[in-house]
Chains A and B, each alone.
Chain A
């Protein structure tokens, strides 16, 4: 596979993309270039809990696309698929601290966890009250002493939206942390890859799938999950993803849920809706009601083809926080 990308120099991919993001969305964000982070245009907001997330680039619109009113106060993009270092995380934390403390939302990948942990230590030493919630919604990975634990994947978008709404309505740091933990504890995700992605500086695919193979339980960097199987019709793949998700929480008859079908970057919307159709059908058969939905490319892996399904168990509080106004590049309603 030849690398065919709209880039100039692999070394400048993140810088140039962030510069473009800045000039396209100057009404919503402002950008610090050294160290690199994206902040809400009106940050810091006095008295509001600041929310910072981040991680390797290549998952856009995660996280920069979710900076704005009702969601994140700042996002820290690292190099492609590599965690940012503590310095920019620390700088972003300081930039959005409005005196009510700052929450770090961190996907459970070893690099992200270690760098955010170091940044939180630095920020605490500066007198900023920093709390961390680790997102681990991926059911493909066994959570045990023998792994680094479940990964944080597309469910992160739902955590960021709902937690952002809680901070926007004025919850204190304890309250915001509690909402983030609540969402994380009620969302489950599993994904599939149909084709790999090419990291710009590597120049070749991060893994190889035969023409008739798919990878079930893929992570968001192409790192593998449960099993590699032959390509099947969409409905059969959806059933394979949804089964472990529903058993895990478990989701049961009478539950109201948000159903989120996320594209990995290289799969067209038309296929995502075929996936949604089947997932909704299965949920209905089980007596589970889909009361909110989201379909699109929100947590991507560059040009990887594939999708993930997330199911979030809602209650009145989470539903109203989901419905609350949001104004970001990636999600926007009610305002």
Chain B
């Protein structure tokens, strides 16, 4: 086996399900990554928007962190996702607040009161998140929005799960596809959001929402294998 195949095999074999601890790790890692990328996201947004996406996402996830302290033992992954949703809706502002808030709210609904998430539950989580964003923002794939990262991620996750991959491999497949999707949308003209005012001047720029989506999904994958 090549090193990559060995890694994939390790991903497939270990950790059959993810629990509340993973959900909390995911959100903490997301907050860390968004803080690190705050200026970079602002710069992407300045090119084709209004320059505050990193600022807003950082503010929202920093507001989530204290709420993750001292969660009751019986807190489910869905309850954590719902907490994230309501916090983002009330702290992020801009378009990203309602969009990510809706994504986490629908994701929470999709996993219900399950105490642990298998690969199929993760696919359902991401599918519901994507569908929530589509519903709220009315964007389609190819409009040069965060959907261009979410949809390939959902498709890749579903394919991986159908092929028998475990939870970590599903998350990695989603993160890889989100990054590729964000990149693939760079040559497009934007049809939604503030970048749509730019017409052809948006060509060649990366949509900041697709970038933050890729960062979030990568954060989830990165902490899948981390031990308690």
Q: With A82-B52, A86-B89, A146-B191 in contact, do A151 and B197 touch (Cβ < 8 Å)?
A: yes
Whether A83 lies near B52 (C-beta < 8 A) is no
CA distance A223 to B195 in the complex (A): 8
Whether B197 lies near A147 (C-beta < 8 A) is yes
CA distance A114 to B93 in the complex (A): 9
CA distance A84 to B42 in the complex (A): 18
Is the CB of A202 closer than 8 A to any CB of chain B?
A: yes
Whether B52 lies near A85 (C-beta < 8 A) is no
Inter-chain contacts of B113 with A (CB < 8 A):
none
Closest chain A residue to B52 by CB distance?
A82
Q: Which of A78, A109, A114, A202 contacts B98 (CB 8 A)?
A: A114
CA distance A145 to B140 in the complex (A): 12
Closest chain A residue to B201 by CB distance?
A224
Q: With A114-B137, A118-B89 in contact, do A202 and B46 touch (Cβ < 8 Å)?
A: yes
Inter-chain contacts of A85 with B (CB < 8 A):
89-93, 97
The residues in A between 109 and 140 inclusive whose CB is less than 8 angstroms from any CB of B are 109-111, 114-115, 117-118
Whether B50 lies near A118 (C-beta < 8 A) is no
A275-296, CB under 8 A of B: which get 1 and which 0?
0000000000000000000000
CA distance A87 to B97 in the complex (A): 12
CA distance A201 to B198 in the complex (A): 23
Closest chain B residue to A219 by CB distance?
B197
Closest chain B residue to A115 by CB distance?
B98
Is the CB of B94 closer than 8 A to any CB of chain A?
A: yes
Q: With A110-B193, A110-B194, A199-B51 in contact, do A82 and B201 touch (Cβ < 8 Å)?
A: no
Inter-chain contacts of A202 with B (CB < 8 A):
42, 46, 51-52, 55
Is the CB of A304 closer than 8 A to any CB of chain B?
A: no
The residues in B between 87 and 111 inclusive whose CB is less than 8 angstroms from any CB of A are 89-99, 101
A154-168, CB under 8 A of B: which get 1 and which 0?
000000000000000
CA distance A109 to B198 in the complex (A): 14
Chain A interface category by residue count: 20 to 34
Inter-chain contacts of B90 with A (CB < 8 A):
85-87
Is the CB of A68 closer than 8 A to any CB of chain B?
A: no
The residues in B between 144 and 189 inclusive whose CB is less than 8 angstroms from any CB of A are 189
Whether B196 lies near A148 (C-beta < 8 A) is yes
CA distance A272 to B9 in the complex (A): 69
Whether A225 lies near B93 (C-beta < 8 A) is no
Q: With A79-B52, A221-B50 in contact, do A148 and B93 touch (Cβ < 8 Å)?
A: no
Inter-chain contacts of B97 with A (CB < 8 A):
83, 85, 111, 114-115
Q: Which of A81, A114, A148 contacts B50 (CB 8 A)?
A: A81
CA distance A202 to B50 in the complex (A): 10
Whether B52 lies near A81 (C-beta < 8 A) is yes
Inter-chain contacts of B192 with A (CB < 8 A):
110, 148
CA distance A219 to B194 in the complex (A): 10
Closest chain B residue to A117 by CB distance?
B98
Is the CB of B56 closer than 8 A to any CB of chain A?
A: yes
Nearest CB on B from A230, distance (A): 18
Closest chain A residue to B91 by CB distance?
A85
Inter-chain contacts of A145 with B (CB < 8 A):
191
B42-58, CB under 8 A of A: which get 1 and which 0?
10001001111001100
Is the CB of A18 closer than 8 A to any CB of chain B?
A: no
CA distance A78 to B90 in the complex (A): 12
B195-210, CB under 8 A of A: which get 1 and which 0?
0111001000000000
Q: Which of A84, A147, A199, A224 contacts B52 (CB 8 A)?
A: A199
Whether B197 lies near A84 (C-beta < 8 A) is no
Q: Which of A79, A82, A199, A202 has the most CB of B within 10 A?
A: A82
Whether A109 lies near B194 (C-beta < 8 A) is yes
Inter-chain contacts of B94 with A (CB < 8 A):
82-83, 111, 115
Nearest CB on A from B4, distance (A): 40
The residues in B between 31 and 47 inclusive whose CB is less than 8 angstroms from any CB of A are 42, 46
Q: Which of B93, B137, B189 contacts A78 (CB 8 A)?
A: B93
Inter-chain contacts of B49 with A (CB < 8 A):
223
Closest chain B residue to A110 by CB distance?
B95
Whether A82 lies near B194 (C-beta < 8 A) is no
Is the CB of B136 closer than 8 A to any CB of chain A?
A: yes
Nearest CB on A from B146, distance (A): 12
Write the residues of chain A forming the contact surface with B, with a CB cutoff of 8 angstroms.
Answer: 78-79, 81-87, 109-111, 114-115, 117-118, 141, 145-148, 151, 199, 201-202, 206-207, 219, 221-225
Sample of 4 further A-B pairs with CB below 8 A, known A110-B194, A202-B51: A79-B56, A82-B93, A115-B98, A148-B192
Top-3 shortest CB links A-B: A114-B98, A111-B94, A147-B196
Interchain Cβ contacts under 8 Å between A and B, 18 examples: A83-B95, A85-B91, A85-B93, A86-B98, A110-B137, A111-B95, A111-B97, A114-B137, A115-B94, A117-B98, A146-B189, A148-B197, A199-B51, A199-B52, A201-B55, A202-B46, A206-B50, A223-B49
